[in-house]
Structure formats: structure tokens, C-alpha cells
């Protein structure tokens, strides 16, 4: 059990309920017909773009909630060193994505094709 609380409650349970509520919003964003909402936003918006925007907007807080509470990157006495330890591999992941994703000849248009299983010609 944590030595601190969120709104007077255990942080793990509060985080769990918050993640469940955000997951419900994600399921609704995927399951509902968002075409009327996308059309009301104006030109350049379609249902797919609106759904992706909603999923990203919900995914980022979920990532922060999981990292902060379940990975102990917030609230613990040694959370600063844990945060630095957790973020260290992120640099290499970003470099890998940039160098592989942006230097491949088909990086923008053909990336899914060369990543798809069965197209390796092995």
C-alpha cells in the first residue's frame, strides 16, 4: 500500500477506476458512429481522423497514469531515479524509430508492407 493518497483514497484503486473510465471512452470512440461529429468540426475531418485523435488524447493520460502509479514513478521517495531509469531507453527507441523509419526508401508510403509477416522472402 502506498504511503500517500489521491482524494483520500488508495492511489492504486483510484488509478484502476480512472483507467476503467478512460477505457470506456476508448471503446465508445471506436464503437460509435462519429461521422456527424467529424462533419460538424469542418473540412479536413473524417470519422477515422476523429477516432484517432480521441484515442491519442485518451492514450497519453492512460500512459502517464500507468507509469506514475503502477511503475512508481510518482509519489515514492526514490521516484526521481526511477523516472530517469525508465526514460533512459526512450532515447534509444526514438533514435531507432527515426533512423529506421525515416531512412528507409518507402518510409512514408510502404512501411506497413515491409513490416508485414510473409513478405520477408526467406
Burial of 69 (0-12, 13-18, 19+ CB in 10 A): buried
Q: CA 76, CA 114: separation in Å to the nearest integer?
A: 43
Cell numbers of 63, please? Answer: 500512459
pLDDT digits (tens, 9 = 90+) for 47-98: 888 888 898 899 999 988 888 888 777 766 766 776 777 778 888 888 887 7
pTM score of the predicted model: 0.60
Query: How many helices, marked H, and strands, marked E, lie in the chain?
Result: 5, 0
Amino acid at each position: 500500500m502506498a504511503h500517500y493518497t489521491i482524494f483520500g483514497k488508495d492511489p492504486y484503486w483510484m488509478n484502476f477506476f480512472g483507467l476503467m473510465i478512460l477505457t470506456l471512452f476508448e471503446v465508445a470512440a471506436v464503437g460509435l458512429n462519429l461521422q456527424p461529429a467529424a462533419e460538424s468540426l469542418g473540412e479536413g475531418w473524417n470519422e477515422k481522423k476523429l477516432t484517432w485523435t480521441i484515442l491519442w488524447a485518451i492514450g497519453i493520460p492512460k500512459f502517464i497514469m500507468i507509469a506514475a502509479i503502477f511503475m512508481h514513478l510518482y509519489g515514492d521517495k526514490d521516484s526521481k531515479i526511477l523516472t530517469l531509469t525508465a526514460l533512459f531507453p526512450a532515447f534509444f527507441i526514438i533514435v531507432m524509430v527515426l533512423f529506421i523509419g525515416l531512412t528507409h526508401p518507402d518510409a512514408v508510403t510502404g512501411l506497413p508492407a515491409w513490416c508485414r509477416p510473409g513478405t520477408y522472402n526467406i
